[in-house]
Chains A and B, each alone.
Chain A
C-alpha cells in the first residue's frame, strides 16, 4: 500500500473541500473494500478522506412511507434495526447477509453502492425497491444510479448522504452466496407495491439490473408459477471461476422464484 494523507472531516462540507483540495482525493466509508483495494495498489490516492466522524451521514429514519438510511450506517445496524425489520423486513434480511459479522460491523450502505461491485447486495435493494439516492447536491433515482461495472451516476467528488427506500407491500431477497467471500454469485430482490412489481438482480451482470419480463408476468400473478417459463439470457453475464454465465442465468430464475415465494 502506498502512503496517503489521512483526513477525518467533521462535516459534509469539510469532506467535499478535502477531496476537492487534494491532488487525488478519495472518500473512504467503512473501508471494507477500499483497504483491500489500496493493498493491491489498484487505487493510490494522495488523500483518503474518511467519513466516520460526520454525524449527518448516520442514522435510520422510518416514517409511514419510507425507510431513510444515512450513507455511513453500517450493515449490522440496518440488520439489527427493529424499525427497518418492521417496515421492510427484506432490507434488514439483506443487510444481515452481507459478508460476515466483522464486515457488517464496519461496511456501510453508502460505501457499498458508491463502489458498485457487480456482486454487492445493496444495489439489488436500491433497484428492487425503487430507492432514491441523496447526494450532497442532488437526488438520483435508483434506476439511474448503477451505470456499469464499478461505475455509478456519481460525479467526481460527489458524496452520497442518504438513501431512501419506499416501503412496499411485500418484498424478499434471496441470494446464492459464494461460500468463501459471501458475495452474491446471484442475488434477486423482488418487491410488490399494489400492482407495481420490481425484480432486481445482482451478481449476474456487470452491475445490478431489472428483469422486465418477470416484472410484467408477476404484476398480474405474484407467484413463482408466473415466472416458471421465463428464461433470462446469459450472453452478457459474468463468467468466472465461481460460476459460468449459463449457470448464473439459471440461478436468476431459481433465486427469483424463491424470492417471490418468500415475499408471498
Chain B
C-alpha cells in the first residue's frame, strides 16, 4: 500500500493508505480526528471542510494521497488548549449551532472567509456559505456568528 505523510494541525503524521482512501477517511479513521464530519459524501454539504495549505477544501472530495506533503488544519487544531478560537467562541456566543453536525465545516469555512477580512457583510457571508448546508438553524445565527467572529479574529 502507498504511504502518505503530511502535517495535520502542526504535527507531522504518516500512514499507509489505498489510492482510493479519501482525506476525510484518513483524518477520521487513521488519525481518529473525528471532528471532521461526513454528511452527504457527495461534495455538497460541507460538513467535511478542512484547510489544505490554508485554503478550504471538502475533504470527502480529496484523496489522502493528494494531500501528500501539505499542511492540513482541522477543527481540532483551532482551539488553544481550553481557550476557544475566536470563531468558535462567536458560534457559542451567537448560538450558531443546534445539533452541531455541520458546525466543524461551518467554522472552518468561516475561518477561511474571515482571514484578512474583518468587515464581512451579511451578503458576503451568505455567498461564502453556499457550499455548507445546515438543517437546523436556518443560517441566521450562523451568519451573525461569522460576522462577529471575523471582527474578533482580526481585532
Contact = CB atoms under 8 A, between A and B. Distances in A.
B19 A5 contact: yes
B20 A2 contact: yes
A48 interface: yes
Size band of the interface chain B makes with A = 20 to 34
Interface string B49-65: 10000011110111101
A219 interface: no
Nearest to B128: A101
B57 A106 contact: yes
B104 to A, nearest CB: 13
B19 A6 contact: yes
A101 B129 CA distance: 8
A143 B97 CA distance: 48
Interface in B97-116: 109, 112-113
Contacts of B46: 100, 102
A240 interface: no
A3 B19 contact: yes
A100 B112 CA distance: 13
Interface stretch (B36-44, B73-81, B85-93): B36-44
A1 B132 CA distance: 24
B103 to A, nearest CB: 16
Size band of the interface chain A makes with B = 20 to 34
B105 to A, nearest CB: 9
A72 B56 CA distance: 17
Contact of B61 (A3, A36, A76, A181): A36
Given A36-B43, A50-B66, A6 B2 contact: yes
The interface centre, meaning the residue of B56, B60, B112 with most chain A CB atoms within 10 A of its CB, is B56
The interface centre, meaning the residue of A38, A39, A102, A182 with most chain B CB atoms within 10 A of its CB, is A102
A102 B56 contact: yes
Contacts of A3: 18-20
Interface string B14-43: 000011101000000000000000000111
A48 B62 contact: no
Contacts of A103: 43, 58, 61, 131
B65 A6 contact: yes
A71 to B, nearest CB: 17
Given A102-B56, A102-B58, A105-B56, A181 B44 contact: yes
The interface centre, meaning the residue of A1, A35, A39 with most chain B CB atoms within 10 A of its CB, is A35
B130 interface: yes
Contacts of B60: 35
B57 A105 contact: yes
A264 B49 CA distance: 39
Contacts of A48: 19
The interface centre, meaning the residue of B41, B43, B46 with most chain A CB atoms within 10 A of its CB, is B43
Given A4-B20, A5-B19, A6-B19, 9 more contacts: A31-B62, A31-B66, A50-B66, A52-B66, A76-B55, A99-B131, A101-B113, A103-B61, A105-B55
10 contacts: A3-B19, A39-B42, A48-B19, A50-B65, A50-B66, A100-B46, A102-B58, A103-B58, A103-B131, A106-B62
